Copies of this chain bind each other. A is one copy, B any other.
Amino acid sequence: MHSFDATIALAHQGDGHFSGATHPDYGNMVGPFGGTTAATLLNAALLHPGRLGDPIALTVNYASAVADGPFQIVARAVRTNRSTQHWTMALSQGDEVAATGTAVFAARRETWSAPEAALPAGLPAADAVARMDTAGRLAWVRRYDMRFIEGDLSAPFDGEERPHSRSVAWVRDDPPRPLDFASLAALCDSFFPRIYVRRRRRVPIGTVTLTAYFHADAAMLAAQGSRHVLGVAQAQAFRNGYFDHSAQVWADDGQLLASTQQMVYYKE
């Protein structure tokens, strides 16, 4: 079993109550990687016997650091319509809520469709880009094969502010794993904090909320398989303790798989 699957695994106790536990393979500075927390909250809805369709949108609010160890998730379908379903989720440890989430699921139908945003042109293929050395990095970073075309975090940080925070990188799970909605949700949190890229220095940070929109359906994810996807991320504003970023995750054939944004607390 891929350790991503072990990390997001949940046991259903009935009535939307699930139990799970953090996994050392996806450890962060403190507690688990926020991407696997997002994927685990989504997984509660995915595993729920009342689930309708596939995920369209996911929002996860990181209320506090999740402690390493067991946790409980409650997932409720608060409204089920003909083709859409609205979920609320909460992850708690003991009596404390550590994360909340909402998700929209839907049964898609074939309609007029059109891309609008386009993947940057002229990018080198993943196998033409050097892989980031992850030796000595946080556990979760070692679970991704990241190949930066722009905006990497190569050390040492010189503290010289850059004009922008944009990163462009090919990314896939390591070991490779076929893409699905849960791993795509986790990928949406795999972009390093934009403030590190912009300022070229580390400051204390923590994501407070993340939203991901799934433009892909299951067939598009299956077609992507375990090949690298392209991630593009950039902040829009850094202001008095909070910055955002907007990001896109692209299939290697140029289709948009997901768009995502987050707000991140920072100090200094």
**A106-B265, A234-B116 known; A59+B209 contact, CB < 8 A:** yes
- Chain B residues with CB under 8 Å of A263's CB are 56-57, 104, 213
- Residues of A156-170 at the interface with B, using a CB-CB cut-off of 8 Å, are 161, 164-165
Are the CB atoms of A244 and B111 closer together than 8 Å?
no
- Mostly, the A contact residues are strand
Q: Is A208 an interface residue (CB 8 A)?
A: yes
Are the CB atoms of A116 and B235 closer together than 8 Å?
yes
- Residues of A98-140 at the interface with B, using a CB-CB cut-off of 8 Å, are 98, 100-102, 104, 106, 108-117
- Chain B residues with CB under 8 Å of A86's CB are 61, 63, 97, 100
Q: Is A3 an interface residue (CB 8 A)?
A: no
Copy total for this chain: 2
How many angstroms between the C-alpha atoms of A97 and B81 in the bound complex? 11
Q: Is A261 an interface residue (CB 8 A)?
A: yes
A182 → chain B closest CB, angstroms? 19
A244 → chain B closest CB, angstroms? 5
Q: Is A191 an interface residue (CB 8 A)?
A: no
A198 → chain B closest CB, angstroms? 7
Are the CB atoms of A259 and B236 closer together than 8 Å?
yes
Give which listed residue, B56, B59, B194, contacts A211 with CB less than 8 A: B59
Q: In chain B, what residue has the closest Cβ to A242?
A: B56
**A86-B97, A164-B116 known; A111+B217 contact, CB < 8 A:** no
Against B, the Cβ 8 Å flags (1 = close, 0 = not) of A55-97 are: 0110101011000000000000011010110101010000011
- Chain B residues with CB under 8 Å of A57's CB are 61, 208-209, 263
- Chain B residues with CB under 8 Å of A246's CB are 246, 259, 261
How many angstroms between the C-alpha atoms of A224 and B6 in the bound complex? 50
15 A-B pairs within 8 Å (CB atoms) are namely A59-B102, A59-B209, A59-B211, A63-B78, A63-B81, A78-B100, A104-B209, A104-B263, A113-B240, A114-B161, A116-B164, A116-B165, A117-B236, A213-B263, A246-B261
